[in-house]
C-alpha cells in the first residue's frame, strides 16, 4: 500500500467533512455568518487560521529551496514577514476589529473603508472590490498550480487530474461551509504545517552528526549555475536586506489576513490571538531556515544538480520518516496551498456581494439571496482560476507571474490607508481614495520601469507614496464632520471588552 497517498486521502476526506458539517449546522446562515462567521471566532482559531492563510506552499517549498541554493541572505524575507506579522497583530488587529464594528458592522475591507467615512460615493468601495476580484482570482489560480505541482512531484499522476482533485475539494468545503469551515480547516492545517516544519529539524539534530564544512563548497547545477552558500546573514546586499524587511509592510494591506481581525468574537481576545500567531510564525520560519541549512549539508548537492532545490522538505521527510508519517508531513504542503486559496476565495466573494452586488445591482437583496450569490461567486472564481491555471499559453504564464507582485500591490494600495483609518481622527475619505490610487499606480509604474534598474522592491515606494498622498490630500481637504469623528471616538473609547 502507498501509505503516503493513503494519508493524503484521509486528510482530504477530513477537510471535506468539516465543510459538510458546517453546512448542515448552519440552517439559519446569513451573509455575515458566511463571510465572517458571525464575528464569533475564538482567539486560537483566529490566530491559527490567519497564519495558515498567510503562508502558502512557499513556506515549505519556495523559501527553503531558495535558502538552500543561495544561503542565509535569502532568509531576510522570512525575517521581514515575522516582523510584519508581529506589528500587524500588535498595531492593527484590535483597533480594526473595533473600527469595523463601529463602521456599521462592516464585513469586507472595501465596505469598511466606505462606512468609516460615511460616504455615499461607491467609487472607493467598487474600485477596491474589482482589484480584489482580479488579484484573488490570480492568487487562487497560483494555489491550484502549487497544489497540482506537489501532487505530480510526489506521485505518478496527471497534472490536470491532480489540479482538478485539489480544486474540487477546496471548492466544496468553501462553498458549503463559508468562513467557519475555512477557519476551522485552516486551524487544523496551521497546526499540521507547524508540526511538519518542526519535526524535520528536530529529528536531524537528535540523530545526525552534520559536517558543516559542506556549506563552504560550491555546487554546480545541471544548467551550469554555481551555487555558493552564503553563511553570514549580513553578507547579503543592502537592497536585498531592505527588500526582505519591506515584505512586512504588505501585511497592513492583506485582505485575507485583515478579515480575520474583523471576525474575532471580542476585541479583548486579540491579545491571546496575537501571542499564538507571533509564536507560530517565528517557530515556523526559524524551522524552515534550519531545514534549508541541514538540507544543503545532507542532500544539497544532489538536489541542486537536478534543479530540485524546492523539494528539500519533501526529500528530507522521506529520508527521515516511515511512509505513513511522511504522508502526514507532505500533507502539510497541500495544507499550505489550500489554507491560502480558501481564504482568498471567500474574501473575493464577500467583496463582490457586499461591495458590488448589494449596493449596485440588487439593493433590496435579502440576506439569504446575498448568501447564495456569495456561494455562486466562490464557484465562478474557482472555475476561472482553474482554467487560468490549466492554460499552457504564454498569456496564462504572464498572469501567473503577476502573483509574485500581488503582495506588493495590496500592501502599496491599502496598507497605509488602513493604518491611517484606525489611528488618525482627522483622516478623510478623499485622503483614503488618494492613498489607494497613488499606492496602486506607484506600485505598477515602479514594477514596470524601475524595479529592474534599481533592484528595489516596488512595495517600498508604493507604500511611501500612498502614505504621503493620503496625508497631503487629507490636510488639504476639509475636516471630517462630527458623524465621522464619532465613529473614531466610539472605536477608540475605553472599554472592558
CA dist 152 → 25, 140, 393, 406 (Å)? 36, 18, 20, 26
Q: Provide the pLDDT for residue 26.
A: 61
Q: Identify the residue with better confidence: 195 or 357.
A: 195
Q: Is residue 422 part of a domain?
A: no
Percent of the chain with pLDDT over 90: 37
- For 49-76, what is the mean pLDDT? 86
**Reported pTM:** 0.87
Residue 318, CA distances (Å) to 36, 39, 323, 404, 417 in order: 39, 41, 7, 29, 46
Output the domain CATH number for residue 220: 1.20.1730.10
Q: Which three cell numbers stand for residue 304?
A: 541542486
Q: Is the pLDDT confidence value at 252 over 80?
A: yes
Among 426, 421, 416, residue whose Cα is nearest residue 459: 416
CB neighbours of residue 213 within 10 Å: 8
Distance CA 462, CA 9 (A): 43
**pLDDT per residue as tens digits for the range 102-143:** 998 887 788 898 899 998 888 888 888 777 787 778 778 877
In a domain, 412, yes or no: no
475 occurs within a structural domain = no
Core vs surface per residue 294-321: b (16+ CB within 10 A) or e = bbbbbbbbebbeeebbbbbbbbbbbebb
What pLDDT shows up at residue 199?
A: 95
- Identify the residue whose cell numbers are 522538505: 313
In a domain, 449, yes or no: no
Mean pLDDT of 34-56: 75
Question: What is the phi/psi pair of residue 225, to 5°?
Answer: -70, 135
The yes-or-no verdict on residue 255 having pLDDT over 90 is no
Asked if the model's pLDDT at residue 393 lies above 60, the reply is no
- Average confidence score pLDDT of the chain: 85
Q: Which of 154, 136, 214, 239 is nearest to 451 (CA)?
A: 239
Residue 278 is predicted with a pLDDT of 95
Q: Is residue 68 included in any domain, yes or no?
A: yes
DSSP state of 425: T
**CB–CB of 366/89 below 8 Å?**
no
Q: Cell 477608540, residue?
A: 492
Domain count for the chain, please give it. 1
- Average the pLDDT over each of 35-39, 184-188, 260-264, 479-483 and give the range with the smallest value: 35-39
Residue 396 has what pLDDT? 46
pLDDT band at 29 (very low <50, low <70, confident <90, very high): low
Q: Has residue 434 been placed in a domain? A: no
List own/partner pairs for 358-365 with CB under 8 A and 24 or more apart.
359/122, 359/125, 360/122, 360/126
CB atoms within 10 A of CB 405: 18
Residue with the larger pLDDT of the pair 151 and 288: 288
Is residue 482 a part of any domain in this protein?
Answer: no
Q: What pLDDT does 32 receive?
A: 58
Provide the pLDDT confidence category of residue 495 given band limits of 50, 70 and 90.
confident
Range of the domain at 111: 3-394
Higher pLDDT, 25 or 224: 224
> Is 410 inside a domain boundary?
no
Helices (H), 208-299: 238-246, 255-263, 270-298
Task: Give the confidence band of 33 by pLDDT, cuts at 50, 70, 90.
Answer: low
Residue 179 is predicted with a pLDDT of: 65
Once rounded to an integer, what is the mean pLDDT over residues 363-388? 84
Q: Which three cell numbers stand for residue 37?
A: 462567521
Average pLDDT over residues 439-466: 94
**Contact of 399 with 373, CB cutoff 8 Å:** no
The rounded percent of the chain whose pLDDT value lies above 70 is 92
Q: Closest Cα to residue 55, out of 22, 87, 77? A: 77
Q: Where does the pLDDT of residue 497 fall: very low under 50, low under 70, confident under 90, or very high at 90 and above?
A: low
Whether pLDDT at 395 is above 60: no
C-alpha span between 330 and 308 (Å, rounded): 16
Amino acid at each position: 500500500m502507498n501509505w503516503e497517498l493513503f494519508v493524503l486521502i484521509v486528510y482530504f476526506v477530513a477537510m471535506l467533512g468539516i465543510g459538510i458539517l458546517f453546512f448542515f449546522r448552519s440552517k439559519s446562515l446569513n451573509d455575515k455568518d458566511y463571510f465572517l462567521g458571525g464575528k464569533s471566532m475564538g482567539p486560537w482559531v483566529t490566530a491559527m487560521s490567519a497564519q495558515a492563510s498567510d503562508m502558502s506552499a512557499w513556506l515549505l517549498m519556495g523559501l527553503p529551496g531558495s535558502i538552500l541554493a543561495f544561503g542565509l541572505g535569502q532568509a531576510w524575507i522570512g525575517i521581514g514577514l515575522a516582523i510584519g506579522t508581529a506589528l500587524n497583530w500588535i498595531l492593527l488587529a484590535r483597533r480594526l476589529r473595533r473600527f469595523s464594528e463601529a463602521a456599521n458592522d462592516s464585513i469586507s475591507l472595501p465596505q469598511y473603508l466606505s462606512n468609516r467615512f460615511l460616504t455615499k460615493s461607491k467609487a472607493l468601495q467598487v474600485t477596491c472590490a474589482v482589484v480584489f476580484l482580479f488579484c484573488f482570482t490570480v492568487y487562487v489560480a497560483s494555489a491550484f498550480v502549487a497544489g497540482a505541482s506537489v501532487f505530480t512531484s510526489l506521485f505518478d499522476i496527471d497534472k490536470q487530474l491532480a489540479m482538478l482533485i485539489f480544486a474540487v475539494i477546496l471548492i466544496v468545503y468553501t462553498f458549503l461551509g463559508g468562513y467557519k469551515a475555512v477557519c476551522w480547516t485552516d486551524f487544523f492545517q496551521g497546526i499540521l504545517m507547524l508540526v511538519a516544519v518542526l519535526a524535520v529539524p528536530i529529528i536531524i539534530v537528535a540523530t545526525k552528526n552534520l559536517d558543516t564544512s559542506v556549506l563552504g563548497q560550491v555546487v554546480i547545477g545541471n544548467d551550469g549555475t554555481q551555487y555558493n552558500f552564503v553563511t553570514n546573514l549580513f553578507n547579503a546586499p543592502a537592497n536585498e536586506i531592505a527588500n526582505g524587511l519591506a515584505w512586512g509592510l504588505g501585511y497592513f494591506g492583506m485582505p485575507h489576513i485583515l478579515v480575520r481581525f474583523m471576525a474575532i468574537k471580542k476585541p479583548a481576545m486579540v491579545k491571546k490571538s496575537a501571542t499564538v500567531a507571533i509564536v507560530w510564525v517565528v517557530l515556523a520560519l526559524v524551522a524552515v531556515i534550519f531545514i534549508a541549512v541541514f538540507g544543503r549539508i545532507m542532500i544539497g548537492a544532489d538536489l541542486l544538480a537536478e534543479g530540485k532545490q524546492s523539494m528539500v522538505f519533501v526529500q528530507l521527510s522521506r529520508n527521515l520518516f516511515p511512509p505513513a508519517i511522511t504522508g502526514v508531513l507532505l500533507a502539510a504542503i497541500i495544507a499550505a496551498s489550500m489554507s491560502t486559496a480558501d481564504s482568498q476565495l471567500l474574501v473575493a466573494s464577500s467583496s463582490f456581494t457586499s461591495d458590488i452586488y448589494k449596493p449596485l445591482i440588487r439593493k433590496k437583496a435579502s440576506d439569504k439571496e446575498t448568501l447564495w450569490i456569495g456561494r455562486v461567486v466562490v464557484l465562478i472564481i474557482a472555475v476561472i482560476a482553474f482554467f487560468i491555471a490549466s492554460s499552457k499559453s504564454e498569456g496564462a504564464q504572464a498572469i501567473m507571474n503577476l502573483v509574485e507582485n500581488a503582495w506588493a500591490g495590496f500592501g502599496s494600495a491599502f496598507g497605509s490607508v488602513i493604518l491611517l483609518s484606525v489611528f488618525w481622527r482627522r483622516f478623510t475619505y478623499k485622503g483614503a481614495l488618494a492613498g489607494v490610487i497613488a499606492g496602486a499606480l506607484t506600485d505598477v509604474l515602479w514594477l514596470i520601469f524601475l524595479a529592474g534598474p534599481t533592484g528595489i522592491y516596488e512595495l517600498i515606494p508604493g507604500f511611501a507614496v500612498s502614505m504621503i498622498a493620503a496625508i497631503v490630500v487629507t490636510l488639504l481637504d476639509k475636516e471630517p464632520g462630527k458623524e465621522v469623528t464619532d465613529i473614531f471616538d466610539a472605536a477608540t473609547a475605553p472599554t472592558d471588552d
